[in-house]
Structure 1
Amino acid sequence: MITNQRYEKIMNYLNENGSGSVNDLVDITNSSTATVRRDLTHLESKGFLKRFHGGATVDQMEQEEDYSEKSVKNLSKKLKIAQKAAELIEDGDTIFIDAGTTTYEMMPFIKASNITVVTNSITLIDQLVRNGHNTHVLGGKVKPSTKAVVGHDVIEKLKTLSFDKCFVGVNAIDIHHGYTTPDEDEAYIKRTAVEQARRAFVLADSSKFERSAFVKFAGVEEAVIITENENHPFLEKIDDRTTIIGGGVSDLYSDI
């Protein structure tokens, strides 16, 4: 098994179980004790886990936060990202925008006309309708903490739709797990939206980098990252795997 595959298996195991012994990790990677210990040392140096005697535990796992708490965190960064994202919407586009505090900030910046917006966010509806956009809200159960509509019906409806672009939020991004979020229901919605869009965009401020949450919804290469800091060291590690927008919007169309 190659090194990156071992890293992924180790992190998946730790994220699912909270912690694991060296023997557990030897078994799942079919590697030697010495190899696993070297892997744990490397992953700890990158901040992905913490070692203890005889094993390791995950570090910095992102947990779900209440919407009102998230909405005021890193607000200036979110506004920069939201404006960049909104500028990518073109006249006549059909787009999906998911529930999130950064996607919410896109609303006043959307200048394109004759667009169709599909969303699972109850917080976006009023502004979308007030601004005259053709708005479709996916039906299902409302999750109070994130103001997202979730459930089987949302997934099945999304599978019947196609989008020019989708814009989704993320709780964490790292090399091994890609884009992750704490909630399974929301992860499935993000995953489906990415699959149904010609171009997928993940909105992420730099506080989300080199962290992981419980559920992966896409690999790094499956979406363009829109962020406020294109010079962050983490982005150098993945710039050969995806497009990163941290400067001018025109850069996107020269790279894709």
Structure 2
Amino acid sequence: MLTLERHERILALLKQQKIAKLHELVEATGASESTIRRDLSILEDDHKLKRIHGGASFLSRKSEEPSLLEKKTQHTTEKDAIGKHAASLVENNDCIYVDAGSTTEAILPHITAKNVTVVTNGLNIIEAALLQNLKVYVLAGYVKTGTRAFVGKAAAESIKQYRFDLAFIGTNGIDVSFGYSTPDPEEASIKAAAIAQSNLAYMVSDPSKFRQTSFTKIADLNEASLITIDYGDDDYLEELSEYTRVEAVKQ
């Protein structure tokens, strides 16, 4: 198979399923792993995809965002590890903000602290928190179809009445220059407010968001610590640690 044909097949597979593992690309093209790795480097340099640990992801537009259902099928092992670590930071009697999202949802099943109060703008977070017998307060607003998040003027007004011991926030992009970012300005404003109104704020994200920027900035890196995964082969973690506190879970 010619190089151009391999590249077209790689991009077609990524467009179809958004993320592809290295072995899937090898099977789809019939090429060796070393050849695929070179192809991915070339395509990433051409801004046609993003390399991630063990494969590649589709390079979406700045304003595009996967639905919650799509997110729940991606990086599930990493999200569970991040959720477990985040939950270990929650202490008895804490009032915490848990942002809408699939990574934040992974925190709830691991919370063992007593008398914890949860405030959220996530439809999915409500059910997950109730399953853990946690006290739940919900922001006002309308619910976005894709992310199941409460947003809008009412949500922005209602969050002002709360203060949090801890806030756990999801992000679509992590970049040393642009900071944390997300596609929707309305969601970004809620996330930023939660960070500002918490004693300690944590962004929870797997490394697929590294070196990525979305349409709207949430906050600078130093405004929230980062809980993520350490695969052991990404020097970007060291670079990020120059700008914010990084708690990296070993994989």
1:191 aligned counterpart, secondary structure: helix
CA separation in 2, counterparts of 1:112 and 1:48?
Answer: 48
Q: Which residue of 2 aligns with 1:28?
A: none
CA separation in 2, counterparts of 1:125 and 1:80?
Answer: 21
Q: How does 1:153-164 map to 2 (within 5 A)?
A: 153-164=154-165
Q: Which residue of 1 aligns with 2:141?
A: 140
Unpaired stretches in structure 2, ≥5 consecutive residues: 1-43, 49-58
CA separation in 2, counterparts of 1:103 and 1:188?
Answer: 17
Unpaired stretches in structure 1, ≥5 consecutive residues: 1-45, 51-58, 249-256
User: Is 1:101 aligned to 2:110, yes or no?
Assistant: no
Q: Which residue of 1 aligns with 2:28?
A: none
Q: Which residue of 1 aligns with 2:237?
A: 235
1:159 aligned counterpart, secondary structure: helix
User: Would the aligned equivalents of 1:200 and 1:222 in 2 still touch at CA under 8 Å?
Assistant: yes
CA separation in 2, counterparts of 1:115 and 1:174?
Answer: 32
Q: Which amino acid aligns with 1:245?
A: E
User: Would the aligned equivalents of 1:205 and 1:229 in 2 still touch at CA under 8 Å?
Assistant: no
Q: Which residue of 2 aligns with 1:4?
A: none
2:123 aligned counterpart, secondary structure: coil
Query: Structure 1 residues 211 and 48 mapped into 2: Cα distance closer, same or farther (>3 Å)?
Result: farther
Q: How does 1:39-78 map to 2 (within 5 A)?
A: 61-62=61-62, 63-78=64-79
CA separation in 1, counterparts of 2:249 and 2:107?
Answer: 17
CA separation in 1, counterparts of 2:97 and 2:46?
Answer: 32
Identity among equivalent pairs (%): 36
Q: Structure 1 residue 240: deviation in Å? A: 2.0
Q: Which residue of 1 aligns with 2:189?
A: 188
Q: Which amino acid aligns with 1:82?
A: G
1:89 aligned counterpart, secondary structure: coil
Post-superposition CA distance 1:116-139 (Å, at most 9, x none): 110011112123123221110111
The size of the alignment, in residue pairs, is 197
RMSD: 2.2
CA separation in 1, counterparts of 2:100 and 2:46?
Answer: 27
User: Would the aligned equivalents of 1:103 and 1:203 in 2 still touch at CA under 8 Å?
Assistant: yes
Q: Which residue of 2 aligns with 1:3?
A: none
CA separation in 1, counterparts of 2:45 and 2:201?
Answer: 28
Query: Structure 1 residues 48 and 237 mapped into 2: Cα distance closer, same or farther (>3 Å)?
Result: farther
1:96 aligned counterpart, secondary structure: strand
